[in-house]
Structure 1
Amino acid sequence: MSELVSRRPQRGGRAARQAARAQATGNEAIHAGLPGGRYRPLTDADMAQVHGAALTVLERTGLKDPIPELLDIVLPKGARLNEHGRLCFPRALMEDLLDGVASEFYVHARGDRAGKDDMHCTAQNVYFANSGTAVTTFDANTKSFRPSTLRDIYDFTRLVDRLENIHMLGDTVLATDVTDDYAHDMNMVYAMLAGSQKPACLTFRAREHIPHAIRLFDHASGGEGSFLKKPSVIFGGCPVVSPLRFGKENLEIMIDTAKLGLTVDLAVPPQAGATSPATLAGTLAQSVAETLACVAIVNLITPGCPIVFAAWPFITDLRTGSFTGGSGEQALISAAAIQMGNFYNMPTSVGCGMTDAKLPDAQYGLEKALTFTLAAHAGANRLCEFGGMLGSLMGCSFESMVIDDEAGGMILRTLRGIEVSDETLAVDVIHSCAIEPGHFLGNTHTLDHMTSEFVFPELMDRERTDTWEREGRTDLFDRARAKADTILDSHFPNHFGAADAYVREEFPIILGAEEMKRRAPRPQPKEGAA
């Protein structure tokens, strides 16, 4: 047995250390991009079978409705049309293309966040990202859902700008008050780039909008040409409509994105029992096939072009035919889809946290925790739909966004795992404290490791019951609402800065410059409402 050494000398005053402990947040214990991949619902043999099934589907069945532009690109390079006019990808072609896929890329942050908040996208580096395009927003004053607006896009973005565990922006809600497609896309881009300098993933309604959006990105990134040098946005969409059919508009956007050499994001969401087989394995195989078709097209256009493996198999409640995003089956099949992306050594994304609950209640907590945790531990590069989503992606909530951000910190801590070393095993500290004083609370070792071992949630209630009674009996929603209100009442960024005036001359910007400096009026509850 090694000789026990005396306890290390105290460093600094006890009062100073205790004050530091009182202010601890635990942020040293976590960081963005921690590796996942320990949860593996599929065996190696299972993955090989799914891969084989997906290639058979692509070779034999193929995809319906390929547009002429696509055929001009892929047919001379080895794809073929079958007797039904469906675009098929021979197995040998797919194997060759998969050998050359991009295994990593960066999505850059802008301005003061550049560098430190860049996203390194690889297989298994875990980040949390917003998205969802919810058509309604939950209003805490009226306790009801109302149509989402352009102002909501800006407000959700500036809220996320102050939330540490949501690493990427997305179009969380839809601006239902902007009906013109071009105006919608440009104003969505403007509201998000004004509200935060975090990396972003955006969708567009038409390919013609991409060059205009790139000019907006340049205005927000430092001038003409700056965006393409360090892309801070990836372009998303759903180029495949299950089962196995191309969607024209999103396919065109994917083609143009690949021609630019920009990162192609996508989502392929077949629903088990509705637009894909009722069996989880069958839905997984179809989703992988549909995703690999996109991977093939992008790499036939620009070899090695970065693309996200985004198989998003969804679950249907076969009693009602409705999508159910919070089920145990959803958590399981999402993890399996991530595992298949890791099989191809590609950065992945997956939809998770898609609770079916309408409020942050017990169902909400159960469904979010299950889907978040399994997706993260399966090694999803991006957990999308992460923040604030309610009602099977139909609604979003500012309060839920704050709650989910806090959950993200706790999940990241589980990803980091347990560090085992002589220092952390603390044999000498055990010996010293067990003899005198009989506890570890004031020991230097405890204070030194407090913020590196533990995450300290801001919203979770860990007080005694009598303290909770005395301080107003608040629940999680109350505390989340208070935090969201604090941010939304005080944080009004416009990261276009001096370029804002030029942007307003060139684009049909709807949000007023002065309007963005104050909080929008909030609806009041109707008389007699609870």
Structure 2
Amino acid sequence: MSTAPVSRRSGGRAARHLARSNPLEDHLRPIRPGMSGGLYRPLSDDAIQRIHRGALDALWEIGLADPPESGIAAMTQAGAVLGADGRLRFPPSLVEDALAAANRDVILHGRDPIHDLDLSGNRVHYGTAGAAVHLVDIDSGDYRESTLQDLYDAARIADTLDNIHFLQRPMVARDIEDPREMDLNTLYACISGTKKHVGTSISEADFVQDAIEILHMAAGGEAAWRARPFASLSCCFVVPPMKFATESCQVMEACIRGGMPILLLSAGQAGATAPASIAGAILQAVAECLAGLVYVHSLAPGHPAIFGTWPFVSDLRTGAMSGGSGEQALLTSGCAQMHQFYGLPGGAAAGIADAKLPDMQAGWEQMCSNVMAGLSGLNMVYEAAGMHASLLGFCHESLILGDDIIGQALRCVRGIEVGEDDLSLDVMRATCLGGPGHYLGAGDTLGRMQRDYAYPALADRSSPKEWAEKGRPDLLANAKARKEAILATPARARLDPITAQAIRERFPIHLP
């Protein structure tokens, strides 16, 4: 009786599939939150110094207009100078004092400690952000107004994606007209949709106390909240160029008192509200965020703050925003270098697509800036997935596909290890001198399969023949199926029923 020969290749493939099915512990995974970047440096040391000195000159010679009265009182007491023209100017010594006192050990907490984000050094984290006013329907290609349910669904999806490390509100709940109710429902939808760190916005200072109360209730009390604040304020405290945003500053002051970490967000647009040159746009954003750092320092030295230089790009032919451009990737990378120069936790925008749908254009636009941001060591890569039409539209399926894009970007961030084991000379000897002549099925290959290599969840790597045999799987259709599967199961981040009911009895929550 004869037996069929066993293919050594198929045996190796079976072994690889078996190894792939056994996930590694987090610290052994090939990609994970907080890996260190910083190998890509588009700015020379001299360029960094010139931008820094230019920012100091801008703060002293130009200053910022429209400071709120409370800000004037705090910052002039710290050493700022209010001019006869109403502009607040900042002596270099005051800026240096604020830099010296800044918190460099910021941790953004999740509701679950497994999602805590260490922002020290060049540690890289990717997440969502933005204020899209539309949701993209991939079936029809239409844009419709985004709703609270859409936002909640985005939070639920993000909670399941390994490479989305935090959730900052990516959409506006256009179905809620009252500003206070919109802010409170936005916060509630986010924290009940994910246990990862949440960034949110609050439009008026009078709404802050209600938002803080929701956070206290979700945390189990004020002390628990202050020990582990799992939500931060995304604060557009300036209106570029070089003006304070009065209401946002007042919100920031109230949130600092309430214990919320602050994202100091300067979002000028090169060629429109910021200089057209890449270096000039970076300089203005740095100057504005240094003013914000002085503001925070004058109120609460050492309060956790993220240096949020977010300059955007204009297509100078039309004036339209071009978030998917190579220039945007350079702006973000340059900002990351400035954060590192100051030793501050920083964030900027990447992963934006100008494309209206998740197509080939979207893929190259999202990958370009996400890779460069990660290689630059940007601590917080905002808007990294799901954003289309230059931030006007958000797409659930694109959020899922973005998880794969970010996975490959993170593998680039990790780089190449060149230790003795990594040179693989012993493996080469064993393979070539009396061995099988290939590395398939080798112990070293199997060991590195998960430890060194990152694999997409949805992207197809099969041969054309295998692809056809599988029914020609469609990427968007698979993303939609995964979305539907996620949303068909109960939210794993939902608040406990007693807390959820207490919040609903206290505040007008619109989620069913």
Compute the TM-score of the two structures, normalised by the length of structure 2. Answer: 0.94
Task: State the shift of 1:155 in Å.
Answer: 0.5
Is the 8 Å Cα contact of residues 388 and 394 (structure 2) preserved in structure 1? yes
Task: Provide, for residues 71-98 of structure 1, a one-character-per-residue CA deviation record: whole Å limited to 9, x for no partner.
Answer: 1111122101123110100112112221
Partner of 1:426: 424
Task: State the shift of 1:18 in Å.
Answer: 4.3
Residues 215-294 of structure 1 correspond to what in structure 2 (within 5 A)? 215-294=213-292
Task: Provide, for residues 387-414 of structure 1, a one-character-per-residue CA deviation record: whole Å limited to 9, x for no partner.
Answer: 2111100001111001111111111111
AA aligned to 1:443 is A
Task: State the shift of 1:321 in Å.
Answer: 0.9
Task: State the shift of 1:445 in Å.
Answer: 1.5
Partner Cα separation in structure 1 for residue 227 and residue 20 of structure 2: 44
AA aligned to 1:502 is A
Tell me, yes or no, if structure 1 residue 437 matches structure 2 residue 433.
no
Where does the alignment leave 5 or more consecutive residues of structure 2 unmatched?
1-10
Partner Cα separation in structure 2 for residue 24 and residue 453 of structure 1: 15
AA aligned to 2:488 is D
Partner of 1:176: 174
Partner of 2:121: 123
Partner of 1:371: 369
Is the 8 Å Cα contact of residues 158 and 491 (structure 1) preserved in structure 2? no
Is the 8 Å Cα contact of residues 197 and 495 (structure 1) preserved in structure 2? no
Partner Cα separation in structure 2 for residue 476 and residue 106 of structure 1: 36
Task: State the shift of 1:333 in Å.
Answer: 1.1
Task: Provide, for residues 467-506 of structure 1, a one-character-per-residue CA deviation record: whole Å limited to 9, x for no partner.
Answer: 2122222332222222222212224342243211111110
Partner of 1:501: 501
User: RMSD of aligned C-alpha atoms?
Assistant: 1.7
Residues 10-409 of structure 1 correspond to what in structure 2 (within 5 A)? 17-23=15-21, 28-110=29-111, 113-114=112-113, 116-409=114-407
Partner Cα separation in structure 1 for residue 254 and residue 176 of structure 2: 25
Q: Which runs of 4+ in 1 moved over 4 A?
A: 13-19, 24-27
3-state DSSP class of the match of 2:368?
helix
Partner of 2:445: 446
Task: State the shift of 1:260 in Å.
Answer: 4.0
Partner Cα separation in structure 1 for residue 186 and residue 257 of structure 2: 23
Partner Cα separation in structure 2 for residue 22 and residue 258 of structure 1: 46
Partner of 1:481: 480
Partner Cα separation in structure 1 for residue 320 and residue 268 of structure 2: 13
Q: Count residues in correspondence.
A: 497
- The 3 A distance-change label for structure 1 pair 368 and 15 is closer
Task: State the shift of 1:418 in Å.
Answer: 1.9
3-state DSSP class of the match of 1:278?
coil
Compute the TM-score of the two structures, normalised by the length of structure 1. Answer: 0.91
Task: State the shift of 1:24 in Å.
Answer: 6.0
Query: Which one is further off, 215-224 or 66-75?
Result: 215-224
AA aligned to 1:47 is I
Q: % of aligned pairs identical?
A: 36
Partner Cα separation in structure 1 for residue 12 and residue 169 of structure 2: 48
Partner Cα separation in structure 2 for residue 193 and residue 158 of structure 1: 10
Is the 8 Å Cα contact of residues 240 and 246 (structure 1) preserved in structure 2? yes
Task: State the shift of 1:223 in Å.
Answer: 3.3
Task: State the shift of 1:327 in Å.
Answer: 0.7
Partner of 1:519: none
Where does the alignment leave 5 or more consecutive residues of structure 1 unmatched?
1-12, 513-530
Query: Which one is further off, 431-440 or 488-497?
Result: 488-497
- The 3 A distance-change label for structure 1 pair 387 and 14 is closer
Task: Provide, for residues 360-402 of structure 1, a one-character-per-residue CA deviation record: whole Å limited to 9, x for no partner.
Answer: 1121111111110111111111100112111100001111001
Is the 8 Å Cα contact of residues 138 and 397 (structure 1) preserved in structure 2? yes
Partner Cα separation in structure 1 for residue 23 and residue 368 of structure 2: 24
AA aligned to 2:96 is E
- The 3 A distance-change label for structure 1 pair 48 and 365 is same
Is the 8 Å Cα contact of residues 212 and 258 (structure 2) preserved in structure 1? no
Task: State the shift of 1:238 in Å.
Answer: 0.5
